[in-house]
Amino acid sequence: MPGEIAFYLIALFTVAFAAAAMTLRRLVHCALCAAAAFAGLAMIYLQLDAEFVGFAQLLVYVGAIAILIVFAVLLTRGDEVAPGNKQSSPSWMAEVAVAVLVLAAMAIAILRSPSLHRLASPGAAAPVKRIGEELMTRYILPLEMVGVLLTGALLGAVVIAMRDESEPKQPERVVSHLSDPKEEVVSR
Amino acid sequence: MIAPPEIQSPVAAGSLNHDLLEVAMGPHHPSTHGVFRMNVVLDGETVVKLTPVFGYLHRNHEKIAEKNSYLASIPYTDRLDYICSMTNNWAYVLSVEKLTGLAVPERAEYIRVLVAELTRLFNHACLAGFLLQDMGALGTPMMYAFREREKILDLFESLTGSRMMCNYMRFGGCRCDFPEGWLEQAATVVAGFDSFLDHFEALLNGNEILCARCQGVGLLPAGLAVNAGVTGPGLRASGVNYDIRKVDQYGIYNRFNFRVPLGRRGDVFDRYMMRILEMRESVKILGQALHDIPAGPILDAKAKLRNLRPKPGEAYGRIESPKGELGFYLISDGGPAPYRYRVRPPSLVNLTVLEDMCLGHTIADVVIILGSIDIVLGEVDR
Amino acid sequence: MNALDQIFVSAQHGLAGLAPASWQPLVLMVLSIAGLMAVFGSCFALTTILERKILGRMQNRFGPNRVGPCGFFQPLADGIKMLTKEDIVPFSADKTLHFLAPLALTVPVWLAFAVLPFGRNMSAIEMDAGILFFFAIGSASELAVFMAGWSSQNKYSLVGAMRAIAQMISYEVPLVLAGVPVLMAAGSLSLPDIVQAQSGFVWNFVPRWNVFTPWGLAGFALFLIAAAAESNRCPFDLPEGESELIAGFLTEYSGFKYALFFLGEYLGLFAVTGLAVTLFLGGWQAPAPWLQWFPSWGWFTAKFGALIFVFIWARATLPRLRLDQLLNFAWKFLVPLALINLLVAALWWKVPAPMPVRWLVCAGLLLVPFVWLARIWNGSRPTQRQYDYAG
Amino acid sequence: MLGLGILRGLVETWRNFQGSYYDPARLTTVQYPEEKLPPQENARTFPFLVFDGSDPMAGLRCTACSICAVECPAHCIDIVKDTVKKPDYLGKMQFHPKVFNIDMAVCMECGICAEVCPFDSIKMDHVFELSSVDRNMVLEKMDLAKPNQYFQHIHPLEAAAVDAARAAEQRKAQAKKAAAPVPAAV
């Protein structure tokens, strides 16, 4: 019973922050709320005794991805949404459609999952060691694929970032008070 | 009724939405060496524009001197570059001596060289300390420099009665002779300074962080330095051989055997090293002066302190102060006060190249470039 | 010996035994938390005064010596000053975030102490993935610093916050990578297991601490450097950079909020130092077989204190790096070296050779890239210069 | 860039760290309220007026010539001459100051007043702990007057020279007086 209360509290926390992340006006607030929602997710994992996944969620999402979002918010021009503007994108229909499709796909996958129909055995927490072993043996191919994908993404990011460098640099402005001596005529 | 101006947050409202960030560094900023302000325009952390704003410490020095007698201006010169009061005194009395044609007894000339080189020692040591403080070294080198400075200030106190505002030199000589044992004490301090420098250099010179921070930062090309009138170690770091002690040979500097170190690149590191190397040379000069100092009077018999009325005319006296060429330009109309009294402060003139040195560097570099120029706001703003 | 060693554990259990049985787990937990907060709270106070005194001595000054005997009540005076100071919130600040930032920094840092083993059987929680917990918790402080810098609506704060984020992201990578060989060696993510893996002695006098292996030594150095950067210590204190940015992201903080930031930074330093002790210096293990009579928590404290001293020592000596150099240093020097270190550590376990040979081979394999990387990371320019003299 | 310079720097700070515990040349701090530096003969802080004898107002050496007030760079000395003359130590009739004020808030302790005084009347003091809760920093004649013994105490060499010179002058004046039969009006 206390576990269930905790679950509902955490779920409320997560959903509330996720909603706040979508509705708040200031982008930085949204980013911080998103980080809080990520932390809520991590708590749900922890409540499920999935220590490794929970901490990885914290480390990756709160520690890295949220920071990246914040960075992106700061580095781009933070044009604030005007207070009266209710709908920020004209193509909202398409977006809703995409969201519904994704939700449907995930719901189908979850509903079809066999684990839904049996209760988790008590003490089924996966020790870190076993996760590691599984990753290194049974799931080695997906792991390697993810690694290759991430490396490719990294290289792509580097290439994109490097393009600025190859462009001809603007000549450094040399400001010298001596370059054009302004003759001042003193009249008496 | 005028509506109150709408207060907007500086970050959200204006600057961040543009690419450039305008920051007013100073007058309340930890590393502007006094009340100095730099209006910096930043692109990220890179400086694209820098406007020095000074005058916060203006004390009307020149006009006060035009009201006071010649003698009464000497204590005011102490307060120009308040670290090096002795050299300020010297530059001023030198120009009055030129104006009046007074001679200086030999012993007084030696005393002047002694105190001026001692001043150069602690000024340069403190500068290195301040520079490292600006670099974030928590003042450790500065404290070591201050430790040595205390010893020199003790000497100054027993000689002149005051540690910093010495008010020591007079037209045609000096105010008072050494107290007993002063020369021996000075010899001890000078003898200890070389080992202090060894330890100081061991602490700093090879430090990788210092090298990385200073080398290639704040380049000052020799041409620009000459055109802008930069003098002192900053000019010599750019490779220009110009030391007024050698050029003018004022006082008795032709009697001493010393060299003028020259840099090759003109960056912050070279300017820092110029100070270190010049300290070594100053120690040499001090050794020779302490050895050769003759007995005799310290004030010219014809010297007249009170009620001095030089013949109408003008004079410009200049010396190599630790910060560069310090000159006093005086016009006398025969009255008890100079008709025109003008200071040529090295700090101010050296400061004019600040923007040229800073452009393209980051905000962290601005601080150390400013530190390497070695300004004292008392002299800049006068 | 055993009694002294376990004095805190037995005291905790003795006290908990007074409570009814169903409450005992809760009481045990509360006692651990109270103990941790009391010990590290006073450790914070002690460190501030000792740091100032040591810095003073290194700079040939006395340091604070006016309040109480030898100035040791100075933290108390500082605390009263901080508490009674006016709490100023800038007019245009984002008041909620401005208020939350110091809390967001301090609270997770306290959590990080939960997994550190301070002595034999002395860790608040024994967790399977302890080190992962530690790093996950530590990553929250970046957001706190960002909140502080952004909400102050001050340009210096904002620049400081940007610096802080860039620095923390960059240095977390080498920090974790430097610790990975230790996890490989111990085969566990649990900190007590890592300490246990370092027990015993080679030839009966060299402890089997990780720091005595080449990869451990390199990892230790990398870890310390990255830890200094993670906790904003000199020479990586750019986010505060008082000579450049006034006080960086702390510029608009005063009073007790400022004190909380201060506390958070020091606690972060303590936590990461404690982790360094655990990972590389054998945790609470004694350094020699004949010194095992000394309680385990005593050894932990001694090693911990020594490392804190090293941080203070570096602070007294080094100027700070520039931001671009700082990032170059992380990405072009620390990260490659940490990766090479990982390889060398793997080699260390796989190479069948007698100990000294193995040691020399691995040390050589680390030394060569070290020299090479050290030369190139800042654009390979010579540091020695020649000067001409005229006349 | 191998970090050797950093290590050398660390050695240097370590040397200073342990040196500060036993080497007095390293730890130069003087813990001020408890310890004080021995006073230097030449040291100068604020000016004071020297008087001879025991009565400050009768023995004041000052003759209200105002040279110090004119030469003072900060013009912080304010002198009003008395209307009656009094004999000085040589028996000569001299004016004395009715008002002699020095504004210590303006004074910059340069010592020029003492330097230019032809009567050895104004000298530089050694006291420096002058802070008070009182805002009035204008010191008057009574506050400024200090006995010659005090002057002898803080500036022994200078005071000895001054005293000798004054004694010689006095002897000369007495010899003159003995030679001249008409006594000067007292």
Q: Quick check: B356 and A176 CB within 8 A?
A: yes
Task: Give domain status of residue B173, yes or no.
Answer: yes
- Quote the CA–CA distance of A54 and C135 in Å, as a whole number: 12
Whether residue B27 is preceded by a cis peptide bond, meaning omega within 30 degrees of 0, is yes
pLDDT value at residue A126: 61
**pLDDT per residue over D143-160, tens digit each?**
888 888 888 888 888 888
Q: Is the CB of A58 less than 8 angstroms away from the CB of C137?
A: yes
Instruction: Write the residue in C57, C378, C383 that is nearest to D17 by C-beta.
Output: C57
Q: What is the pLDDT of residue A148?
A: 94
The mean of the pLDDT values for chain A is: 75
d(CA A15, CA A38): 10
What is the number of alpha carbons within 13 Å of residue A51 lying toward its C-beta?
20
Phi and psi of B210, rounded to 5°? -60, -45
Distances (CA, A) of A128 to B26, C215, C379: 54, 24, 42
User: In angstroms, what separates the C-alpha of B287 from chain D's closest C-alpha?
Assistant: 21
Distance CA B114, CA B286 (A): 6
Per-residue model confidence (pLDDT) at position D172: 87
Tens-place pLDDT, residues C186-212 = 888 888 888 888 887 777 778 888 888
- Statement to judge: residues B151 and B205 lie in one domain: yes
Q: Is residue D9 part of a domain?
A: no
Chains B and A share 3 or more Cβ pairs within 8 Å = yes
Cα C389 vs. chain centroid, distance in angstroms? 47
Please determine, for residue A58, whether its predicted confidence score (pLDDT) is greater than 70: yes
The answer to whether position D148 is within a domain reads yes
* pLDDT per position as a tens digit, D130-146: 788 888 788 888 888 88
| pLDDT (tens digit per residue) in C50-71 | 999 998 888 888 888 888 888 8
Nearest to D17 among C58, C62, C371 (CB): C58
Q: At what angle do helices C140-151 and A27-47 cross, to 10 degrees?
A: 160
Domains in chain D: how many in total? 1
Q: Do B261 and C242 make contact, defined as CB atoms within 8 angstroms?
A: no
Determine, yes or no, domain membership for B239.
yes
CB B341 within 8 A of CB B113: no
Contact B362/D at CB under 8 A: no
* Strand D145-147 to D47-51 pairing: parallel
Nearest chain C Cα distance for residue A62, angstroms: 7
Q: Do C136 and A55 touch (CB under 8 A)?
A: yes
Which residues of C fall within a CB distance of 8 Å from B260?
389-391
Residues paired with B313 in a beta bridge:
B332
Q: Is residue D11 part of a domain?
A: no
* Chain B residues whose beta carbon lies within 8 Å of the beta carbon of residue D12: 199, 202-203
The verdict on residue D186 lying in a domain is no
Predicted local distance difference test score (pLDDT) of residue A104: 93
Instruction: Using a cut of 0.90, tell me whether the model's pTM lies above it.
Output: no
* Site of tokens 């204006």: B14
In a domain, B273, yes or no: yes
Q: Average pLDDT for residues C221-241, to the nearest whole number?
A: 84
Which residue among B48, B227, B359 sits closest to A178, beta carbon to beta carbon?
B227
Residues of the domain holding D70: 47-125+135-178
Q: Is residue D37 part of a domain?
A: no
Does C320 contact B at CB distance below 8 Å? yes
A177–B228 CB contact, under 8 Å: yes
List the structure tokens of B247: 């050029």
Residue C93 lies in a domain: yes
Chain C partners within 8 Å of D2 (Cβ): 370-371, 374
Nearest to B324 by CA among B347, B353, B307, B292: B347
User: Between the CA of residue A59 and those of A54, A69, C186, C272, what are the distances in Å?
Assistant: 9, 15, 22, 16
Contact C249, C145 (CB under 8 A): yes
Total structural domains within chain B: 2
Find, in chain A, the residue whose alpha carbon is nearest to that of B18. A77
Mutate to test the interface with B, among D7, D8, D10, D12 (most CBs of B within 10 A): D12
Residues of chain B with C-beta less than 8 angstroms from the C-beta of D6: 207-209
Q: Indicate if B145 and B266 belong to the same structural domain.
A: yes
Q: Which amino acid is at B284?
A: K
In a domain, D102, yes or no: yes
Residue B155 belongs to a domain? yes
- Interchain contact D/A (3 or more Cβ pairs less than 8 Å): no
Report pLDDT for B95. Answer: 92
**Chains with 3 or more CB pairs under 8 A to chain D:** B, C
Instruction: Average the pLDDT over D110-129 and give the result.
Output: 87
Q: What is the number of residues in chain C?
A: 391
Q: Under DSSP, is residue C13 helix (H, G, I), strand (E, B) or coil?
A: helix
For D13, the closest of C58, C61, C374 (CB atoms) is C58
B226 touches chain A (CB under 8 A): no
pLDDT recorded at residue A80:
53
Predicted local confidence at residue B199, as pLDDT: 87
All residues of chain B having their beta carbon less than 8 Å from the beta carbon of residue A175 are: 49, 355-356, 359
Containing domain of residue C199, as a range?
A: 85-376
> Which residue in C154, C159, C391 is closest to B45 by CB distance?
C159
Alpha-carbon distance of B296 to B294, in angstroms, equals 7
Q: Please state, in angstroms and rounded to a whole number, the distance separating the CA atoms of residues C255 and C98.
A: 13
Q: Which of C54, C60, C374 has its CB closest to that of D2?
A: C374
What angle in degrees, to the nearest 10, is found between the helix axes of C355-376 and C214-230?
40
Is C321–B133 a contact, with Cβ atoms under 8 angstroms apart? no
Question: Residue D41's pLDDT band (boundaries 50, 70, 90)?
Answer: confident
Classify residue D55: in a domain, yes or no: yes
| Segments in chain B below pLDDT 50 | 1-18
**Chain A residues within 8 A of C25 when measuring between CB atoms:** none
Chain D residues inside the 8 Å CB shell of C383: 1, 5
* Closest to C230 (Cα-Cα) out of C107, C109, C53, C377: C109
- Which residues are CB-contacts of C186 (< 8 A; sequence separation ≥ 6)? C193, C194, C196, C197, C198
A164 touches chain B (CB under 8 A): no
SS3 D20: helix
Asked if the Cβ–Cβ distance from D27 to C314 is below 8 Å, we say no
User: What does the pLDDT read at residue B19?
Assistant: 65
Question: Which among D1, D16, D20, D23 is the top mutation candidate for probing chain C, defined by the most C β-carbons within 10 Å of its own β-carbon?
Answer: D1
Provide the pLDDT for residue A167: 47
Question: Model confidence over A148-182: pLDDT tens digits?
Answer: 999 999 888 888 877 554 444 444 444 444 433 34
CA angle B67, B69, B74 (to 5 degrees): 105
- Check whether the bond before C235 is cis (ω within 30° of 0): yes
The residue that leads in pLDDT, A99 or C357, is: A99
Give the total residue count for chain A: 188
CATH of the domain at D86: 3.30.70.20
Residue closest to D82 by CA, chosen among D70, D99, D65, D69: D99
Q: At what angle do helices B268-292 and B363-373 cross, to 10 degrees?
A: 20
- Residue B147 contacts D where some CB pair is shorter than 8 Å: yes
List CB contacts (< 8 A) between C234 and chain B: 136, 138
Q: Kindly list the residues from chain C whose CB atom is less than 8 angstroms away from the CB atom of residue D9.
A: 317-318
Average pLDDT over residues C72-77: 88
Q: What is the pLDDT of residue B40?
A: 87
- Residues facing residue C202 across a β-bridge: C206
- Whether D5 sits inside 8 A of B208 (CB atoms) is yes
Closest CB from C97, C142, C147 relative to A63 = C142
Looking from the CA of A170 toward its CB, the CA atoms found within 13 Å total 5
Q: Which residues of B touch A74 (CB under 8 A)?
A: 16
CB atoms within 10 A of CB D133: 4
* CA neighbours closer than 13 Å in the CB half-sphere of residue C111: 19
Per the CB < 8 Å rule, is C235 touching B209? yes
Mean pLDDT of D117-127: 87
According to the model, what pLDDT value does residue D138 have? 85
Q: Is the pLDDT of residue A101 over 90?
A: yes
Q: How far apart are CA B106 and CA B374, in angstroms?
A: 32
Residue D165 lies in a domain: yes
pLDDT value at residue A188: 34
Residues B82 and B227 in one domain: yes
Which pair of structure tokens corresponds to residue C3? 């009694």
Return the higher-pLDDT residue of B266 and A115: B266
Which residue range(s) make up the domain with B366? 61-381
CB C383 within 8 A of CB D1: yes
> What is the residue type of C266?
Y
In terms of C-beta density within 10 A (0-12 exposed, 13-18 middle, 19 or more buried), how is residue A159 classed?
exposed
Nearest-10 Cα torsion for C155, C156, C158, C161: 180
Which amino acid is it at C318? L
Q: Which residues, including other chains, have CB under 8 Å from residue A52's CB and lie 6 or more apart?
A: A126, A128, A131, C128, C129, C132
- What is the full DSSP assignment across B141-200? HHHHHHHHHHHHHHHHHHHHS-SS----EETTEESSPPPTTHHHHHHHHHHHHHHHHHHH
Percent over 70 (pLDDT), chain D: 96
Mean pLDDT on C299-322: 89
Please say if the pLDDT value at position C255 is more than 90: no
Cα angle B108, B113, B114; round to 5 = 95
Examine the pLDDT at A28 and tell me if it is beyond 60.
yes
CA–CA distance, B179 with B347 (Å, rounded to integer): 33
Cβ contact C374–D3 (<8 Å): yes
Q: Which residue has the tokens 């990520």?
A: A38
Sign of CA dihedral A148, C365, D1, D11: positive
Query: Is residue A79 pLDDT above 70, yes or no?
Result: no
Neighbours of chain C (3+ CB pairs under 8 A): A, B, D
> What is the number of other CB atoms lying within 10 angstroms of the CB of residue B145?
25
Does residue B4 lie within any of the structural domains? Answer: no
- CA atoms of C375 and B208, how far apart (whole Å): 11
Instruction: Please give the ipTM for the structure prediction.
Output: 0.80
Neighboring chains of A (3 or more beta-carbon pairs < 8 A): B, C
Residue A76 has pLDDT above 70, yes or no: no
- Per the prediction, chain C carries an average pLDDT of 84
Domain count within chain C: 1
Interchain CB distance below 8 Å, C317 and D2: no
- Top-confidence residue, C13 or B278: B278
Rounded to the nearest angstrom, the minimum Cα separation between C185 and chain A is 14
> Which chain C residue has its CA at the smallest distance from A126's CA?
C128
- For residue A128, give the nearest of C128, C135, C169 by CB distance: C128
Q: What percent of chain C has pLDDT over 90?
A: 5
DSSP string, A92-134: HHHHHHHHHHHHHHHHHHHHH-GGGGSPPPTT-PPPHHHHHHH
pLDDT at B176: 86
Taking CB atoms and an 8 Å limit, are C129 and A52 in contact across chains?
A: yes
Looking at residue C308, its pLDDT comes to: 92
